[in-house]
Amino acid sequence: MYICYMIKIVILGSSGFIGRALTDALSKANLVIPVTREKLSSTLSQLKNIDVVVNCLGSAASASVSDAYNSNFRTPENILKDLTSIGREIGCWIQLRSYYELQIPLGRSDSYSSSKLLFWQRVKELSVERSFVARSVLLPHIFGKQEESDRLLSILRRAVVQSKFFELSEGSQLLPILELEDTCTGIEKFISTDITNVDLNPFWYGSVRELVYEIESATRKSLLVRFGLEKSIDAKFGPVTFDQSGLVFDKRINDIHELVKAWRAH
């Protein structure tokens, strides 16, 4: 008799932008236990012998020092220690990392990036002490359904679909982008492999100004977007390198033309 074994996956931060979408995607073929920030204690106290924990917890990039430290380091560290305490165990912990962490050697010094990098180092330490596998997925800038309206790709989508006017910064900051549904597809495939660390490669990487120009080329019209004089703090950092040798998976959106088509379809 053929027995189908369903992996037991805990998703921390399941009510967030990525966590919500990932919960929906993984629930189709796995036993998924969503854990929201509001119900951390009550849910985690009942969990034992977990195959995979995916950490989607995280502060906003603009969070204060204390908020960034608590959300990106202290809270997940306490959870990890609890799940790997005596009598409990996990197979692996998957840390969702930000490409901002790669910009720290380039001069980035914000609390969000430094606390996330510090926690990843802590995960690796604890994996040796408590015998679980530490794995990571490095993410570019993720955009998609139900993202906050003030995020760049949400703004540009409304500029295309609703012909609304927006004013942006000077536009020289570099932005690697990947769509949310494709992100979930990549993470799901990663879970099924024995790869330890992987970079989910962006389908497009360039400056914000170049992105606007390419969208205008794809739509064959000028967007109601004006670039200001003020430079984004991100403009100070050069490009980072995403490892091209890792995971290969089919993407729904592979270029700006497909992006514009998807925007117009919804």
Domains of the chain by start residue, with CATH:
1-139 (3.40.50.720)
Backbone angles phi, psi at 158, to 5 degrees: -70, -30
d(CA 244, CA 142): 18
- The model carries a pTM of 0.93
Would you write out the chain's pLDDT as a tens digit for each of its 266 residues?
344 457 899 999 999 999 999 999 999 989 999 998 777 777 777 787 899 999 999 999 999 999 999 999 999 999 999 999 878 889 999 999 999 999 999 999 999 999 999 999 999 999 999 999 999 999 999 999 889 999 999 999 999 999 989 999 999 999 999 999 999 999 999 999 999 999 999 999 999 999 999 999 999 999 999 999 899 989 999 999 999 877 889 999 999 999 999 999 97
CB 142 within 8 A of CB 180: yes
CA distances from 224 to 155, 167, 247, 260 (A): 11, 8, 37, 16
